[in-house]
Amino acid sequence: MRRLLLVTALVLSSPMPLAAQDSLPPAPYAYQQLDDPELEAKATDLMHTLRCLKCQSQSIADSDAPMAGDMRHQVRTRIAAGESPAEVRQWLVDRYGEYVSYQPRVTASTWPLFVAPLLVLLLAAFILRGRLVKRKEPGK
Amino acid sequence: MKRLRIFLWVLVAVVGGLFVLFGYQLTQPKDEFIQSAMVGEPLPDFDLRPAIDTMPGLSKADLADGKPRLVNIFASWCLPCRAEAPQLETLRAAGADIVGIAIRDRPEDVAMFLQLYGNPFTAIGADDISQVQLELGSSGVPETFVIDGNGVITYQHIGDIRPEHVQTILYQLREAGA
């Protein structure tokens, strides 16, 4: 109890707020939708597939972190300036790597993920064929 | 029958291998650092207003004048930034030219921060909407970049600089031509 009091006293006597929160207002387009509904829909779809870097299991559309707001601002202003969603995604991937994108791409390290299900299907078809052919044999 | 037995043993081996893989991954330390893909790339164009009245702001041109520098991404509201202040002072004393980029910060807060924890910077730009931070591929505060004299990013340090990191950063700065 005494320790708790001490910690509370220390926190209260700190010269600056201890919470890691900035005091600036959010970027203009962090919470403000674009006027054109079509562009806003494009931007929103994209924001749902971009990873928030501060809260790494959320998309920037889901997160209230100031940095996610700043990323939404970038997405909306770039879409409004005529960039395609693919270009905006690439702009972020060029800076943070594929990690920032929730949309998987076939690359040198991810191709087994795409090939494995096909192999399993082929294997299943092969085994199934073997069984069906065998079962027919006695009837011949 | 024999083929079935072999098949089952192969299955057991595959599943066993998977568990070994899971066990290995679970015992690895968690790495939440997101490396910037901009290391080795030239700086983006930017021009930031001064973060406090008494010091110059920061632009790309300032960082491409032939002198290698450290760019420290910080904020007055960031706790680890206070912890790394003594190390920045050590780096400055060792001859490093350090410029700052203050993320989402008010001038009075930056001034207070510098007064309390020291001012190792020769210039500080204010990045109010994290634009330059995103351009650099930085995902948080504090981070420190080594920039060579041509404005190319040569090294990224993620998180607060602890005493054991100082030598590495000085080495990287020398490698960049200081």
Is the pLDDT at A24 greater than 70, yes or no? yes
In this complex, which of B79, B104, B139 lies closest to A96 when CB atoms are compared?
Answer: B139
CB contact (8 A) between residue B34 and residue A23: no
Read off the pLDDT of residues A102-133 as tens digits, 9 standing for 90 and up: 998 888 888 999 999 999 999 999 999 988 88
Looking at CA atoms only, how far is residue B33 from chain A in angstroms?
Answer: 10
Identify whether A15 is part of a domain: no
Is the pLDDT at A23 greater than 70, yes or no? yes
Identify whether A57 is part of a domain: yes
Judgement on whether residues A70 and A126 belong to the same structural domain of the protein: no
Judgement on whether residues A79 and A111 belong to the same structural domain of the protein: no
Judgement on whether residues A95 and A136 belong to the same structural domain of the protein: no
Torsion of CA B147, B150, B151, B153, to 10 degrees: -50
Looking at CA atoms only, how far is residue A139 from chain B in angstroms?
Answer: 23
Is the pLDDT at A137 greater than 70, yes or no? no
Judgement on whether residues A53 and A91 belong to the same structural domain of the protein: yes
Is the pLDDT at A138 greater than 70, yes or no? no
Q: Which fold has domain B47-177?
A: Glutaredoxin (3.40.30)
- DSSP state letter for A36: S
What interface predicted TM-score (ipTM) does this complex get? 0.85
pLDDT category at B62 given cuts 50, 70, 90 is: very high
Judgement on whether residues A121 and A71 belong to the same structural domain of the protein: no
Identify whether A1 is part of a domain: no
SS3 of residue A102 by DSSP? coil
Q: Does the bond joining B142 to the residue before it have cis omega, within 30 degrees of 0?
A: yes
pLDDT at A16 (0 to 100): 44
pLDDT at A9 (0 to 100): 59
Judgement on whether residues A54 and A117 belong to the same structural domain of the protein: no
| Distance from chain centroid for Cα B66 | 22
Read off the pLDDT of residues B91-136 as tens digits, 9 standing for 90 and up: 999 999 999 999 999 999 999 999 999 999 999 999 999 999 999 9
Question: Stretch B76-95: mean pLDDT, rounded?
Answer: 96
Judgement on whether residues A117 and A51 belong to the same structural domain of the protein: no
Judgement on whether residues A97 and A140 belong to the same structural domain of the protein: no
pLDDT at B178 (0 to 100): 65
CATH number at residue A55: 1.10.8.640
Residue of higher predicted confidence among B87 and B28: B87
CB contact (8 A) between residue A94 and residue B36: no
Q: Residue ranges per domain, chain B?
A: 1-30, 47-177
Contact list, A20 vs chain B (CB under 8 Å) = 77-79
Judgement on whether residues A80 and A100 belong to the same structural domain of the protein: yes
What is the rounded distance in angstroms from the CA atom of residue B151 to the CA atom of residue B63? Answer: 5
What total number of domains does chain A contain?
2
Residue of higher predicted confidence among B56 and B177: B56
In this complex, which of B106, B116, B134 lies closest to A95 when CB atoms are compared?
Answer: B134
Host domain of residue A137 = 106-140
In chain A, which residue's Cα lies nearest the Cα of B39?
A: A95
Read off the pLDDT of residues B132-171 as tens digits, 9 standing for 90 and up: 999 999 999 999 999 999 999 999 999 999 999 999 999 9
pLDDT at B148 (0 to 100): 95
pLDDT at A7 (0 to 100): 60
pLDDT at B32 (0 to 100): 77
Judgement on whether residues A36 and A85 belong to the same structural domain of the protein: yes
Give the DSSP per-residue string, chain B: -HHHHHHHHHHHHHHHHHHHHHHHHHHSPP------TTTTSBPPP-EEPBSSTTS--EETGGG-SS--EEEEEE-TT-HHHHHHHHHHHHHHHTT--EEEEEES--HHHHHHHHHHH---EEEEEEETTSHHHHHHT--SSSEEEEE-TTSBEEEEEESPPPGGGHHHHHHHHHHTT-
Identify whether A20 is part of a domain: no
pLDDT at B133 (0 to 100): 96
Judgement on whether residues A124 and A88 belong to the same structural domain of the protein: no
What is the rounded distance in angstroms from the CA atom of residue A52 to the CA atom of residue A106? Answer: 22
Is the pLDDT at A19 greater than 60, yes or no? no
Judgement on whether residues A99 and A113 belong to the same structural domain of the protein: no
Residue of higher predicted confidence among A73 and A107: A73
Could you tell me what percent of chain B has a pLDDT over 90?
Answer: 92
Contact B147, B101 (CB under 8 A): no
Best-predicted range by mean pLDDT (A4-8, B30-34, B97-101): B97-101
Identify whether A110 is part of a domain: yes
pLDDT at B126 (0 to 100): 97
List the structure tokens of A1. 């109890």
In this complex, which of A19, A24, A92 lies closest to B128 when CB atoms are compared?
Answer: A24
- List, in sequence order, the alpha helices (H) in A59-101: 66-80, 85-96
